[in-house]
């Protein structure tokens, strides 16, 4: 190479380096657009221990007003006299899952036979009354280590076991106000994806129904999609 072209070559090389770096930067800047899809925010509202007349009815009214679907884990002994509430939940597009016949742990977890009988009886009531085959299950009292052996039995029968990772506090905090339940929901949902929020729609939980509109609107405002199982 002729000496007089050397500076020009160096300048060209420098220019190419700058361009390459800019290209690389453009590529890395494009990356967030891709990961935006991965930053999906989903929330599952799950209601345990119903149906009840007043609370479940109010919860269904709010879900309808807000155009949101949820999942209800049913205690089948509480269905008698409230068949229409259960039918309404199914009709309005909510998922009905098995929780238990009567929520009495000593009976439910007495043996594998007792456990399966409990699951099947609850599912039979849901199917007879609301005409839907339950495919999701939630352990009464939660799915702790002692209950692991039951998980396989459920899986064999085609049930998906649903736990939770956020709570509104309606069982944990005595006499909680709607405001407290709202705050607890927001606080425990932070950083979770998806959020599976535990709420209760049995008779004592009027404050849960009272908090529900605020809870739904908060997650809507924050870009969450509402899902059901």
The helix (run of H) or strand (run of E) holding residue 185 is helix 178-189
Smallest gap from residue 110 Cβ to Zn ion (A) = 17
* Residue (66 or 171) nearer to Zn ion, CB: 171
Which region among 19-27, 28-36, 45-53, 212-220 touches Zn ion (by CB under 5 A)?
A: 45-53
> What are the CB-based long-range contacts (under 8 Å, 24+) for 140-147?
140/99, 140/100, 140/103, 140/105, 140/108, 141/105, 146/109, 147/109
* Residue (86 or 224) nearer to Zn ion, CB: 86
* Residue (203 or 218) nearer to Zn ion, CB: 203
Which region among 41-49, 108-116, 125-133, 174-182 touches Zn ion (by CB under 5 A)?
A: 41-49
* Residue (49 or 170) nearer to Zn ion, CB: 49
Within positions 181 to 220, which residues make up the interface with Zn ion, using CB under 5 A?
none
Smallest gap from residue 111 Cβ to Zn ion (A) = 20
Within positions 131 to 150, which residues make up the interface with Zn ion, using CB under 5 A?
140
Residue 170 in 3-state DSSP?
coil
Within positions 153 to 172, which residues make up the interface with Zn ion, using CB under 5 A?
none
* Residue (48 or 170) nearer to Zn ion, CB: 48
Name residues whose C-beta falls within 8 Å of residue 123's C-beta, 6 or more positions apart in sequence. 98, 133, 134
Smallest gap from residue 99 Cβ to Zn ion (A) = 6
The span from the CA of 94 to the CA of 91, in Å, is: 7
Within positions 46 to 85, which residues make up the interface with Zn ion, using CB under 5 A?
48-49
The residue count for binding Zn ion (CB under 5 A) is 3
Residue with tokens 């309404």: 88
Q: Which of 162, 158, 206 is nearest to 56 (CA)?
A: 206
List Cα–Cα distances, 188 to 53, 125, 184, 185, 215, in angstroms: 28, 33, 6, 5, 12
| Closest residue to Zn ion in the complex (CB) | 48
The helix (run of H) or strand (run of E) holding residue 214 is helix 206-221
Task: List interacting residues with Zn ion (CB under 5 A).
Answer: 48-49, 140
């Amino acid at each position: 190479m002729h000496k007089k072209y050397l500076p020009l070559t160096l300048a060209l090389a420098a220019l190419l380096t700058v361009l390459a770096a800019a290209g690389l930067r453009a590529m890395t800047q494009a990356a967030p657009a891709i990961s935006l899809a991965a930053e999906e925010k989903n929330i599952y509202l799950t209601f345990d221990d119903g149906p009840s007349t007043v609370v479940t009815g109010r919860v269904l009214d709010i879900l309808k007003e807000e155009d949101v679907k949820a999942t209800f884990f049913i205690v089948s002994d509480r269905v008698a006299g409230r068949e229409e509430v259960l039918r309404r939940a199914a009709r309005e597009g909510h998922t009905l899952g098995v929780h238990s016949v009567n929520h009495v742990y000593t009976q439910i977890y007495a043996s594998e036979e007792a456990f399966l009988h409990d699951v099947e009886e609850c599912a039979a009531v849901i199917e007879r009354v609301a005409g839907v085959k339950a495919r999701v299950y939630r352990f009464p009292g939660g799915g702790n280590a002692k209950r692991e052996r039951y998980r396989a039995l459920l899986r064999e029968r085609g049930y998906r076991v649903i736990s939770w990772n956020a709570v509104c506090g309606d069982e944990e905090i005595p006499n909680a106000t709607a405001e407290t339940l709202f705050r607890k929901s927001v606080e425990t949902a932070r950083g979770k994806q998806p959020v599976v929020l535990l709420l209760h729609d049995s008779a004592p939980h009027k404050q849960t129904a009272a908090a529900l509109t605020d809870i739904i609107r908060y997650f809507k405002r924050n870009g969450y999609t509402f899902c059901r199982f």
